[in-house]
């Protein structure tokens, strides 16, 4: 779990950082609001532990920007004040939880953990054609319900073809998209990999060859 700690009192900040790391979390520590927004613009955090009373950009403002931009980060706000008014305001700003100072460290841990349970990103769709199924995120492919054991290049090749629908894909394009390195134009890589892929796909053939053109998914005719 990735956590960002934003706290201007350096001794406290470091201590929180070390403590959370000891609990197995990946922690970054920053000392002011601007630095926080900096980190947040480049890195995904599960939880942000945010001191409300920050010099420079105030904690409230940081919180507002977090909830505006990165909805996948939860905010635990630390505050020195304990009045009801403050607590309500904090929640109103989009903080997901708050903790009045001084706090017990075990309580901080418990709250960060609770916030860290977050939804996972949506799974991208699976590709289908003929009796083929390919799931890029799970890296599995099936033919007629039978799982295929494909090597990385074979998998990428099939994925590229499936993603192109029933369009003809030239060898040059396949080379560029699957190999993406500085491609020797005279390489036999596509040819060789295609052969092995076809062998694993079995009968009847599903990859059609278009002479002088390239390859296409689907039964001929």
Partner DNA sequence: TGGGCGGTGTCAGCCCGGTGTCAACGACTG
Partner DNA sequence: CAGTCGTTGACACCGGGCTGACACCGCCCA
Tokens describing residue 199:
């062998």
Helix (H, G, I), strand (E, B) or coil at 33: helix
Which listed range, 54-62, 185-193, 195-203, 211-219, lies at the site for a second copy (CB under 8 A)? Answer: 211-219
Shortest reach from residue 96's CB to DNA, in Å = 27
C-alpha–C-alpha distance, residues 85 and 80, integer Å: 13
Q: Is 85 in the site for a second copy (CB under 8 A)?
A: yes
Q: How many degrees, rounded to 5, is the angle at CA 30 between CA 117 and CA 33?
A: 95
Distance of CA 218 to the CA centre of its chain: 33
Going from the C-alpha of 131 to that of each of 94, 110, 134, 165, the distances in angstroms are 48, 49, 10, 13
Q: Is 213 in the site for a second copy (CB under 8 A)?
A: yes
Q: Is 145 in the site for a second copy (CB under 8 A)?
A: no
Q: Is 128 in the site for a second copy (CB under 8 A)?
A: no
Site for a second copy in 47-76 (CB under 8 A): none
Residue with tokens 């009796």: 131
Tokens describing residue 58:
């105030």
DSSP 119: P
Nearer to DNA, 23 or 86 (CB): 23
Which listed range, 48-56, 57-65, 111-119, 199-207, lies at the site for a second copy (CB under 8 A)? Answer: 111-119
Shortest reach from residue 183's CB to a second copy, in Å = 10
Tokens describing residue 198:
């076809």
Which positions lie near a second copy, rule CB under 8 A? 1-2, 21-28, 39, 43-44, 84-85, 87-88, 91-92, 96-97, 102-104, 106-107, 110-111, 113-114, 116-123, 125, 136-139, 147, 151-153, 155-156, 159, 163-168, 176-181, 210-213, 216, 220-221
């Amino acid at each position: 779990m990735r956590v960002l700690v934003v706290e201007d009192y350096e001794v406290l900040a470091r201590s929180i950082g070390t403590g959370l790391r000891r609990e197995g979390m990946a922690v970054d520590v920053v000392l002011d609001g601007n630095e926080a927004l900096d980190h947040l613009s480049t890195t995904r955090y599960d939880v942000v532990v945010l001191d409300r009373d920050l010099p420079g950009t105030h904690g409230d403002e940081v919180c507002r920007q977090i909830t505006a931009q990165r909805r996948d980060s939860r905010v635990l706000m630390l505050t020195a004040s304990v009045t009801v008014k403050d607590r309500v305001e904090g929640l109103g700003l989009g903080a997901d939880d708050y903790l009045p100072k001084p706090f017990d460290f075990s309580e901080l841990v418990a709250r960060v953990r609770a916030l860290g349970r977050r939804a996972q990103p949506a799974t991208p769709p699976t590709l289908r054609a003929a009796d083929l199924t390919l799931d890029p995120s799970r890296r599995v492919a099936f033919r007629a319900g039978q799982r295929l054991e494909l090597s990385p290049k074979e998998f990428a090749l099939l994925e590229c073809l499936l993603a192109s629908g029933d369009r003809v894909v030239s060898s040059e394009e396949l080379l560029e998209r699957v190999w993406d390195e500085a491609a020797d134009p005279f390489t036999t890589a596509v040819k060789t990999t295609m052969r092995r892929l076809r062998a694993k796909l079995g009968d009847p053939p599903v990859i059609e060859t278009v002479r002088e053109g390239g390859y296409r998914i689907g039964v001929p005719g």
